[in-house]
């Protein structure tokens, strides 16, 4: 990529072009010298490959994991149903325990230990009818006054509950003795996991005092597991080698999604782990459907690619190649006006016809171009003038708005009302004194407002004079080659530039003038032109501080006289601590139309106009910066 940029003023531009005209010529080379036909084929193939890769990536990273998550959700739901079913079994056991505990015969048995009660009521058939495998009756002291294991042929060892005919001291339910509090849970026995529930012994009418506790147990046998599976419509198994844990653990294989659920006993220790197996039918069916869809998509894409390439070659690429060859021939011989003679009713036919007409008009266009470039130069200069005048008018508009606000907020109307009331208030000395005090305060406020307004008017008069001087300079430059030179001191020049800078920009910047500005003394300079250049520099520095996210910044101005090409040159350096400029944009900031601001309020004219103005004075302008966020130095160098 190569490019050439011309910046100039007046007749300094190539071919006598006028002020602020710039040309940029950019030549680019096709990658690898390749024609458009193979490039289109490569690009289409690349798009096809990328789309295929994207589809595969989406399937593997999005679609298939969603199937797995759905299966895991189903497994978690199944485990939740199992837990709920186990809780319902415990709840049913608790209902039986409450029913027996609220029985007057048991209430009396705890007191008199009548053996006839146990013989008559606690039998193998009665326990089978209740679907329980263990029955304990405990008094208030924790003594087990009845244990059904002593009367059964296959006793359940409940050492985790009782020891030597009394409840274990660490058994959690001992705290419920004497209280109307039921309980339920799991316990480990010699025959497996036992579901247990307890209820307080009452007098048969739901009243007390409580005389003890009835504990019923039901073994988690295979028939009970089968009934639970039927209730939950879930198949599960008890796992003996699974690591204990409080949370459900999901394990996924190629064919199964397994979830392991740990159940604690009444002591809070893991007593059993259940495993629910969910076949991965969703993933298998989903993968099968995706493979079929992908195969169909690839087939359709291949057919589409071949058909698209055939149609593109016939209706686009071939006519485009013919048109390109003709255009190259015209470029090699600008005097060649031979028509292409392309006969077609589509866009290429119309393009060829318009191209033939364009070749015929090209010679006339060349002749008109020289005259139009001179006029365009003046239009470009007018843009710069309007840009600078707009910058100068902005502070005037702000001050006019402030003056209008002060006038609307002045107490003139209130003072008039006070005068009217004062003339009518003769018999009320206190009111008379208040009105006089109010009028004194209002008059002082009016005087302050008039003084502020007078100061603004004086500043606006200076700004108007500067604008008039700028217009006079532009009128002079339109009819003369050299700008007007005036004797001026650099600090005064910078101060005059500040007068036409918007208030917001002045408030944002702290201007530091180096001692070198004073040491140089008075110089004969194009004061009006340089004042407008510095105005643009100050506004851009304030905008750079704002873009850096700060309310206040510093603009430091330095100067030196350097000897170059046998003449003295003034080198002005304006350093700000704003947002900075990336290294690849240090030249682009002076190009026409380049801007980092909104296109609604900025057209990228300011620095481009400054560059043309400095070049017209026989100098040059450039920018340096250490990078984004590290400030910018703007350098101006021109002869004095």
Peptide bond connecting 209 to the previous residue in cis, omega within 30 degrees of 0: yes
Q: Are 109 and 145 in contact (CB under 8 A)?
A: yes
Q: Map 88-153 to HEC letters.
A: HHHHHHHHHHHHHHCCHHHHHHHHHCCHHHHHHHCCHHHHHHHCCCEEEEEECCCEEEEEHHHHCC
CA atoms lying within 13 Å on the CB side of residue 257 = 22
Backbone angles phi, psi at 169, to 5 degrees: -65, -30
Q: Which residue ranges of the chain lie beneath pLDDT 50?
A: 1-30, 370-371, 374-375, 378, 479-480
Q: What is the pLDDT of residues 563-607, one digit of tens each?
A: 888 889 999 999 999 888 888 888 888 887 777 765 555 666 778
The reported pLDDT for the residue numbered 572 is: 92
User: Strand 509-513 vs strand 553-564: parallel, antiparallel, or unpaired?
Assistant: parallel
Sheet containing strand 249-252, strands side by side? 236-239, 270-279, 256-264, 249-252
pLDDT tens readout for residues 514-570: 998 899 888 888 888 888 888 889 988 888 888 888 889 999 999 999 988 888 999
Distance, CA of 174 to CA of 386 (rounded, Å): 97
DSSP per residue over 427-478, as a string? S-HHHHHHHHHHHHHHHHHHHHHHHHHHHHHHHHHHHHHHHHHHHHHHHHHH
CA distance 58 to 67: 13
∠ CA 528-600-602, nearest 5°, is 25
What are the structural domain ranges in the chain?
Answer: 68-279, 379-639
| SS3 call for 615 | helix
d(CA 542, CA 536): 10
Structure token pair of residue 233: 């419509």
Which residues are 524's β-sheet partners? 487
- List, in sequence order, every residue forming a beta bridge with 198; answer none if it has no partner: 183, 215
Measured distance CA(618)–CA(113) in Å, rounded: 125
Q: Which structure tokens are listed for 345?
A: 């009713």
- Residue 601 to residue 540: CA distance in whole angstroms: 14
CA distance 197 to 143: 17
Largest CA distance in the chain: 137
229-261, pLDDT tens digit by residue? 888 888 888 876 656 555 678 888 888 888 888
Task: Say if residues 475 and 394 touch (Cβ distance below 8 Å).
Answer: no
Residues composing the chain: 640
Residue (of 523, 482, 489, 470) closest to 618 by Cα position: 482
Domain 379-639 carries which CATH code?
A: 3.30.565.10
pLDDT of 543: 87
For 56-94, give the secondary structure using H, E and C: HHHHHHHHHHHHHHHHHHHHHHHHHHHHHHHHHHHHHHH
CB 258 within 8 A of CB 236: no
Q: What is the dihedral angle through the alpha carbons of 165, 166, 171, 175, rounded to the nearest 10 degrees?
A: 150
Residues 609/387, Cβ–Cβ less than 8 Å: yes
Q: How far is CA 587 from the centre of its chain?
A: 32
pTM exceeds 0.75, yes or no: no
CA distances from 148 to 119, 203, 488, 637 (A): 11, 22, 119, 112
Distances (CA, A) of 149 to 134, 155, 165, 576: 7, 4, 12, 95
> Cis peptide leading into 574, omega within 30 of 0?
no
* Contact yes or no for 262/246 (Cβ under 8 A): yes
Q: How far apart are CA 477 and CA 458, in angstroms?
A: 29
Q: pLDDT value at position 372?
A: 56
What's the half-sphere exposure (Cβ side, CA atoms, 13 Å) at 370? 8
d(CA 44, CA 531): 57
**In the numeric block, which tokens belong to residue 3?**
């490019």
Which residues are paired to 237 by β-bridges? 275
- The CATH code that applies to domain 68-279 is 3.30.450.20
Residue whose entry in the numeric block shows the structure tokens 């406020």:
445
CA 454 to chain centre: 50
Taking the C-alpha atoms of residue 234 and residue 226, their distance in angstroms, rounded to an integer, is 10
Q: Which residues are CB-neighbours of 569 under 8 A, at least 6 positions away?
A: 561, 562, 563, 619, 637, 638, 639, 640
Tokens of 329: 């021939």
Percent of the chain whose pLDDT exceeds 90: 13
Per DSSP, the three-state class of 271 is strand
């Amino acid at each position: 990529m190569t490019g050439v940029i011309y910046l100039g003023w007046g007749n300094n531009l190539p071919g006598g072009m006028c002020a602020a005209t710039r040309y940029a010529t950019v030549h680019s080379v096709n990658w690898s010298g390749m024609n458009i036909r193979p490039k289109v084929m490569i690009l289409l193939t690349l798009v096809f490959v990328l789309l295929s890769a994207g589809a595969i990536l989406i399937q593997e990273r999005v679609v298939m994991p969603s199937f797995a998550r759905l299966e895991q959700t189903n497994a978690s739901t199944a485990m939740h149903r199992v837990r709920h079913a186990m809780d319902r079994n415990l709840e049913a056991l608790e209902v039986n325990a409450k029913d027996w505990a609220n029985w007057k015969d048991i209430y009396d048995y705890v007191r008199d230990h009548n053996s006839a009660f146990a013989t008559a009521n606690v039998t193998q058939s009665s326990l089978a009818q209740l679907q329980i495998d263990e029955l304990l009756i405990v008094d208030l002291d924790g003594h087990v006054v009845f244990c059904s294991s002593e009367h059964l042929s296959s006793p359940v060892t409940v050492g985790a509950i009782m020891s030597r005919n009394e409840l274990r001291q660490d058994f959690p339910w001992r705290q419920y003795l004497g209280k109307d509090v039921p309980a339920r849970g799991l316990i480990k026995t010699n025959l497996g996991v036992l579901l247990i529930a307890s209820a307080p012994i009452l007098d048969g009418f739901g009243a007390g005092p409580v005389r003890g506790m009835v504990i019923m147990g039901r073994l988690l046998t295979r028939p009970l597991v089968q009934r639970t599976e039927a209730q939950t419509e879930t198949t599960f198994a008890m796992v003996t080698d699974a690591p204990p844990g409080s949370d459900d653990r999901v394990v996924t294989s190629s064919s199964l999604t397994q979830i392991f659920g740990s159940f604690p006993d009444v002591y809070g220790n893991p007593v059993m782990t259940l495993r629910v197996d969910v076949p991965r039918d969703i993933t298998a069916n989903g993968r099968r459907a995706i493979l079929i869809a992908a195969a169909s998509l690839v087939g359709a894409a291949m057919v589409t690619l071949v058909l698209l390439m055939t149609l593109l070659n016939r209706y686009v690429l071939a006519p485009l190649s013919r048109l390109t060859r003709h255009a190259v021939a015209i470029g090699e011989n600008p005097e060649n006006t031979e028509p292409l003679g392309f006969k077609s009713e589509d866009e290429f036919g119309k393009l060829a016809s318009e191209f033939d007409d364009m070749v015929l008009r090209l010679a006339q266009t060349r002749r008109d171009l020289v005259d139009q470039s001179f006029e365009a130069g003046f239009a470009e200069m007018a843009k710069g003038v309007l840009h600078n005048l707009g910058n100068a008018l902005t502070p005037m508009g702000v001050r006019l708005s402030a003056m209008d606000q002060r006038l609307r907020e002045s107490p003139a109307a209130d003072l008039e009302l006070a005068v009217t009331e004062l003339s009518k208030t003769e018999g009320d000395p206190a009111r008379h004194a208040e009105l006089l005090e109010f009028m004194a305060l209002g008059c002082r406020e009016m005087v302050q407002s008039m003084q502020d307004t007078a100061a603004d008017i004086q500043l606006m008069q200076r700004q108007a004079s500067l604008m008039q001087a700028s217009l006079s300079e532009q009128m002079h430059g339109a009819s003369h080659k050299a700008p007007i030179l005036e004797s001026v001191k650099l600090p005064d020049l910078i101060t005059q530039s500040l007068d036409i800078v918007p208030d917001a920009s002045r408030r944002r910047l702290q201007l530091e003038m180096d001692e070198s500005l004073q040491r140089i003394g008075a110089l004969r300079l194009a004061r009006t032109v340089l004042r407008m250049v510095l105005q643009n520099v100050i506004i851009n520095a304030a905008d750079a501080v704002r873009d850096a996210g700060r309310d206040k910044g510093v603009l430091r101005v330095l100067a030196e006289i350097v000897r170059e090409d046998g003449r003295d040159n003034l080198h002005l350096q304006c350093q700000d601590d704003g947002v900075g400029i990336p290294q690849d944009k240090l030249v682009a900031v002076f190009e026409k139309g380049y801007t980092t601001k909104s296109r609604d309020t900025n057209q990228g004219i300011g620095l481009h106009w400054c560059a043309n103005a400095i070049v017209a004075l026989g100098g040059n302008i450039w920018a340096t910066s250490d990078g984004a966020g590290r400030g910018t130095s703007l350098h101006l160098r021109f002869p004095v």
